[in-house]
Chain A
Amino acid sequence: MTTATMDTPRKPDALPDSRAPLAVSCRGVTKAYGQGQSKVMALRGVDLTIACGELMMLVGPSGCGKTTLISVIAGILDRDEGECGVFGNDFAHMSQRAKTRWRGSNIGFVFQAFNLLPTLNAAENAAVPLMILGEGRHAAVKRAREMLDRVGLGDRWKSLPSQLSGGQQQRVAIARALIHGPKLIVCDEPTSALDHETGHVIMRLMKTIAVAEDRALVIVTHDARIFGFADRIARMDDGRVERIVRDPADLQT
């Protein structure tokens, strides 16, 4: 039998497309919460690279450090050690103000609980990143309505979040994450507050309007039913990226 020798040795980790420029590159990133007795090592040396144009999913058991990792990547949490560049930009060397400003123009967020301002209507909510960047209210809201059109909510721009379904709220959140044309979009469990079907709608929407050549997406999820939307999936365990696969089926082994 020659089958064994015919088998190409399987690569332990799938690598990003080597021709695409790197969006995120982390090496040996560590992060601990608390001190002394109550110290928790959330990240124990994460190596991860994400290419432009890629949709990367982060999966793994609860408490393995997924949220911590995307917080570090998005620059809302400081790492302890290691290297982490986002589009060649290292937050460790930036002032708090510079970090905040950089986030404002380069990163889009989508949250599990949507995090829309309850007293702002859909268009105003989607316009928030533009207003943070200094755009006037009317111009920002006008652009937000166009964005809502693209996520299929053009006719609901006046609705308050409380008047929208979960899926609709998440679509507003996606419009908000995209409106300022960020280079990196980070999502923490974007579908886990939604039913299966709505989750699929949301992921399809992301795939069609969020994925772009010059942009990367990182999506934390434990929802196996959406794994198929990923270009690559990184499985984490106990503060490390354990393996990276292209085919969700490979996660089982």
Chain B
Amino acid sequence: MNFVALRMLMGDRAKFLGIIMGLTFASLLITQQSSIFVGIMTRTFGFITDTALPEVWVMDPKVQFIDDVKPLRDTMLQRVRGVPGVEWAVPLYKGLIKARLDNGNFQQCNVIGLDDATLIGGPPEMVEGSIADLRKADGVIVDVVGASTRLAKIPRDADGKPIRGAKPEPLKIGDTLELNDRRAVVVGICRNSRTFQSQPVIYTTYSRATVFAPKERKLLSFVLAQPAGGLSGADLVARIEAQTGLMAQTRSEFSWTTIMYFIRYTGIPINFGIAVTLGFLVGTAIAGQTFYNFTLDNLRHFGALKAMGAGTLRLLGMIVQQALVVGLIGYGLGVGLAALVPVLSGGSELAFRLLWQTLALTGVAVTVICVLAAMISMVKVIRLEPAIVFKG
């Protein structure tokens, strides 16, 4: 009877394609929107991801997310270092500093100052040069996207006049720029995770960053700490908080804090939530409706099969099988198309991150749609009086 069920399903091309399209659309929309949502949310804590080594972030108790810097007194570094169980602790500067471009314009840059001695917290990947080059005089490392876009230089002719209409040239090693009226020399180009902030990222040492930074009483943005052997991050967090009165969070806690901030205070999740819900509803409507119509159209035939000795369970099995087939095809097509989107968009800066959880979520959604559609159809078939076969 499996064969009969499949023939029934696929014989009616138009309906079959209608159901498949509904399910494909639903799973495409759900996968696509969820993945972009995840991608964007991942960007919110991209900087934490990049700063991979330290397990614990220590900060002012009022900090709400990674870009919400509330500077600490420099002495806090010593206090954290004094907490038993701290293997090491290093300072981190993170702040917006204006860079003066050679065309005279200013560009806000996200400047990261790394501990002078260890350079812990540096970029995850160097494109050119090395992190150690930061030890060179006035050295800074610029992120590759910033270097080729906002910080790019306009080519000049022999007289030093800008050439009109010429393509800007990316910053390269040896180029200079001015940060807060102080000279900085590019010693490396790095690649880091995209973040919500579109400003160029400039890495330098902590002491140099404090020179670049506007004069303020407090300049220490974060203290990065590592638990001594055997101690968990959570344990160290508790100890640091108890002894210093500062807030400490493990790397993953801080990532979540950041995500939750964006979820709570921006419209992003709502927008995506609406899109995902819409995909689900539209998918359910199209696929469910077509599937149900398909069953209704075939009710007469189900009735004949029932009269001819096919039991209710047998008929339900046929419906389940039909739902399974359209579900699998629709899911596969939808997820496949969703995965194609970033490929087709040609490595642009699309925030798209396909997690297995998203695949599972889409699978569950498609299953729910199919089960709903099949169940409504099943009720019809269970209630079906075989005597209808004799009705004209």
- Contact (Cβ within 8 A) B309 A101: yes
A102: chain B residues at CB < 8 Å are 309
- Contact (Cβ within 8 A) A115 B389: yes
Which of B300, B308, B312 interacts with A109 by CB under 8 Å? Answer: B308
Given contacts A71-B387, A76-B387, is CB(A132)–CB(B304) below 8 Å? no
- Contact (Cβ within 8 A) B387 A77: yes
- Contact (Cβ within 8 A) B4 A131: yes
B390 contacts A by Cβ under 8 Å = yes
- Contact (Cβ within 8 A) A188 B4: no
- Contact (Cβ within 8 A) A137 B11: no
A112 contacts B by Cβ under 8 Å = yes
Given contacts A101-B311, A103-B307, A131-B1, is CB(A119)–CB(B7) below 8 Å? yes
Contact with B along A75-95 (1 / 0, CB 8 A): 011000000000000000000
B390: chain A residues at CB < 8 Å are 67, 70-71, 111-112, 188
B306 contacts A by Cβ under 8 Å = yes
Least distance between B335 CB and chain A CB atoms (Å): 29
A132 to B1 alpha-carbon distance, docked (Å):
7
B310 contacts A by Cβ under 8 Å = yes
A104 to B11 alpha-carbon distance, docked (Å):
25
Q: Kindly report which residue of chain A lies nearest to residue B304, judged by CB atoms.
A: A115
Report how many A-B pairs have Cβ atoms within 8 Å: 82
A42 to B33 alpha-carbon distance, docked (Å):
59
- Contact (Cβ within 8 A) A129 B308: yes
B305: chain A residues at CB < 8 Å are 128, 132
- Contact (Cβ within 8 A) B307 A76: yes
- Interface of chain A: mostly helix, strand, loop or mixed: helix
B10: chain A residues at CB < 8 Å are 119
A77 to B387 alpha-carbon distance, docked (Å):
6
Contact with B along A56-72 (1 / 0, CB 8 A): 00000000000100110
A49 contacts B by Cβ under 8 Å = no
- Contact (Cβ within 8 A) A104 B392: no
A112: chain B residues at CB < 8 Å are 390, 392
A67: chain B residues at CB < 8 Å are 390-391
Within 8 A of A (CB), among B1-38: 1, 3-4, 7-8, 10-12
A101 to B314 alpha-carbon distance, docked (Å):
11
A41: chain B residues at CB < 8 Å are none
A175 contacts B by Cβ under 8 Å = no
B385 contacts A by Cβ under 8 Å = yes
A128 to B310 alpha-carbon distance, docked (Å):
10
Nearest 3 A/B pairs, CB to CB: A104-B309, A119-B11, A76-B386
The 12 sampled A-B contact pairs (Cβ below 8 Å) are: A71-B387, A100-B311, A109-B304, A111-B389, A118-B11, A120-B7, A124-B4, A128-B308, A132-B1, A132-B308, A132-B310, A137-B3
Extra 13 A-B pairs, beta carbons < 8 Å, given A76-B389, A104-B309, A115-B300: A77-B385, A101-B311, A102-B309, A111-B390, A112-B390, A117-B4, A117-B8, A120-B11, A128-B4, A129-B308, A129-B309, A131-B3, A188-B390
